[in-house]
Chains A and B, each alone.
Chain A
Amino acid sequence: MARHRFIPGFGLTLGFTVFYLSVIVLVPLWFLVLRTTSLSWAQFWAIVVDPRTLASLRLTLLTSFAAAAVNAVMGFLVAWSLVRYQFPGKRAIDAIVDLPFALPTAVSGIALTAIYSSNGWLGSVLEPLGIKVAFTPLGITVALIFIGLPFVVRALQPALEDLDPAVEEAAAILGAGRWQTFLRVILPAVTPALITGFTMAFARAVGEYGSVVFISGNMPLKTEHVSLLIIAKLEQFDYAGATALGSLMLAISFVLLLAINSLQWWTARRYQGN
């Protein structure tokens, strides 16, 4: 579109972006991939199809997806409550939403394990009901929900704050029910932000290790996280094997993120097009 031509700074901002991205992220990651090439394809493939690798990939991706999905729904609700409702303690709640970022991941893992293990505050309530959380995939999901929540809430908060109430009023005046207004007016407007939050929560969950290692129990084939396998390889001074797993995860994350981001651009364009 022609109108974008006269906004200045394209070369400067994009040039800096690409430069900084390359120095901090792309070049170092390239060396990771390069190190993998010291393996033959057969060796690489043997690592990929190892049952332990496959089990941990499945575990990592499924728990990450589940956690991001829970966060998308609950995070929306939390952001909505914080932006739209008045209730006692709102400021305090708003403040602790960032907590999962500030706590070292190991501390989060230890605290969550303490709460959800069979002698913990919640674990002792849930265990008689037949729900085991700590040292199961459910526990990993709990940890990943914890570390991903701020992404969704903080991505949605500005978007919800920026919603023009006039549009909602117009919808209401035109006879739309509250649910209709939500589905047709509010949700489309904040979908890009919601997908951003989901993407970041998911991405972060895929890469999370510090909190997971405490609550997972690390049982082979059951609760072994990909990061643990990478560490296991490093412990044997098998750098190539470790970078192979790292590169594999990198490729998977990249494809998934690209897909979700494309979805986000598509929804953003569709909404703006309306």
Chain B
Amino acid sequence: MDRRRFLYAASALPFSLIGCGSSGNSGGQAALRNVSYDPTRELYQEINQAFGRRWQAAGNPAVMVEQSHGGSAKQARAVIDGLEADVVTLALAYDIDAIAERSKFLPANWQQRLPNNSCPFTSTIVFLVRKGNPKNIRDWEDLAKPETAVITPHPKTSGGARWNYLAAWGYASRKYGGDESKSREFVSALYKNVPVLDSGARGSTTTFAQRKLGDILIGWENEAYLARKEFAADGFEIVVPPVSIKAEPPVALVDHIAGKRGTRKVAEAYLRFMYTPEGQEIGARHHYRLSVPEVAERHHADFQPVELFTVDGMFGGWKAAHQQHFRDGGLFDQIYQPGT
């Protein structure tokens, strides 16, 4: 009968495609969950393997590290809303502060618990330019010149973009001796040169590399190295400005969750592992600047010299920076006020 066949077709179609719908869990292995931001996949893949070997070699049961990646603030929200993370490794301290403040899953002084502001790896904000640097871009002031198209993501939706913005502002603030209106003028001129604000940092890289838009891409140093490698045929060049911001992506134990899941010991070991020479070497391979001086010394020649300022030093911490620049109606929004 026709109708019967139709009903089958209608209702059985999706069912027939399910096949084996059950998603198997990975045996009896202890699992540690690291909730991280977007561009750290390659880094943590390597760290997780190395840590797993080390942990087992020390006579512990095998451990599997589960990764979750997404925009930094989105990931923080997920943890606040109930995504169970034993450790969080995010793009800016502001996002982990939000977890501490809203869910009380970790103490407010979390950033003092590990060395170097809880940042095993740091980076800085640099420029990626097209082959041969045709616009001769050397320093921040070149980005505000007319006829220069700058690619950077939307500071309201991307953590990486906020670092870019603060780097530019910090440069201007130093140059003009803290004169806010002049800094504002500079940053406005720079953002007037931005034709597209992608929602995430990797999206901006794609716009720059694939759509061939813009003369210069602002981004993290380690990301610039990766882009140069991934799009090797384009011959992009990295320009490190004389002055830039120290990008500090912190890591933290989420005490409440790790306690609940019984993973505290392994989670703490995991975070400490990142500060060991082995962990630091992995960071170096991914072009992060290192926090342990002995290892950093070895890679000194890999990085071009740059004078770094910090969010704490220049802006009085993330909270203040956020309040001044990124809140609704803050300085970033004022750049786009109608009539300016």
**A interface vs B, CB < 8 Å?**
50-52, 113-114, 117-119, 134-135, 213-214, 217-221, 228, 231-238, 241
Contacts and interface: CB of A to CB of B under 8 A. Distances in A.
B23 interface: no
Nearest to B76: A237
B195 A220 contact: no
Given A135-B195, A231-B199, A232-B157, A119 B73 contact: no
B43 interface: no
B76 to A, nearest CB: 8
A104 to B, nearest CB: 15
Given A52-B333, A219-B197, A236 B211 contact: no
Interface of B: 71, 73-74, 76-77, 80, 98, 102, 154, 156-157, 195-199, 203, 210-213, 322, 326-328, 333, 336-338
A219 B338 contact: no
A221 B196 CA distance: 13
Looking at chain B's contact residues, is the secondary structure mostly helix, strand, loop, or mixed?
A: loop
A213 B327 contact: no
B83 to A, nearest CB: 15
B332 to A, nearest CB: 9
A70 to B, nearest CB: 24
A20 B192 CA distance: 50
Nearest to A113: B211
Contacts of A119: 211-212
B233 to A, nearest CB: 15
A231 B71 CA distance: 11
Contact of A117 (B80, B199, B213, B327): B213
Nearest to A237: B98
A221 B77 contact: no
B196 A219 contact: yes
A235 to B, nearest CB: 4
Contacts, number: 71
6 A-B pairs with least C-beta separation: A232-B156, A220-B336, A217-B196, A235-B73, A218-B197, A117-B211
Contacts of B156: 228, 231-232, 235-236
Contact of A235 (B157, B336, B338): B157
A126 to B, nearest CB: 15
Contacts of A233: 328
A23 to B, nearest CB: 21
A221 B191 CA distance: 14
Contacts of B102: 237
Nearest to B196: A217
A236 B326 contact: yes
Given A52-B333, A235-B73, A213 B338 contact: no
A242 B303 CA distance: 41
Given A217-B196, A228-B154, 15 more contacts: A52-B336, A117-B213, A213-B199, A217-B195, A217-B197, A218-B196, A218-B198, A219-B195, A220-B197, A220-B336, A232-B157, A236-B73, A237-B76, A237-B102, A241-B328
Given A113-B211, A233-B328, A235-B156, A218 B322 contact: no
B6 to A, nearest CB: 13
A226 B156 CA distance: 13
Contacts of B154: 218, 228, 232
A146 to B, nearest CB: 18
A228 B98 CA distance: 21
Nearest to A214: B203
Of the listed residues A113, A114, A217, A221, the one surrounded by the most CB atoms of chain B closer than 10 A to its CB is A217
Nearest to A135: B196
B336 A237 contact: no
21 contacts: A50-B328, A113-B211, A114-B210, A118-B211, A118-B213, A213-B199, A218-B157, A219-B195, A219-B196, A220-B333, A220-B336, A221-B338, A228-B154, A228-B157, A231-B156, A231-B157, A231-B199, A234-B77, A235-B157, A236-B322, A237-B76
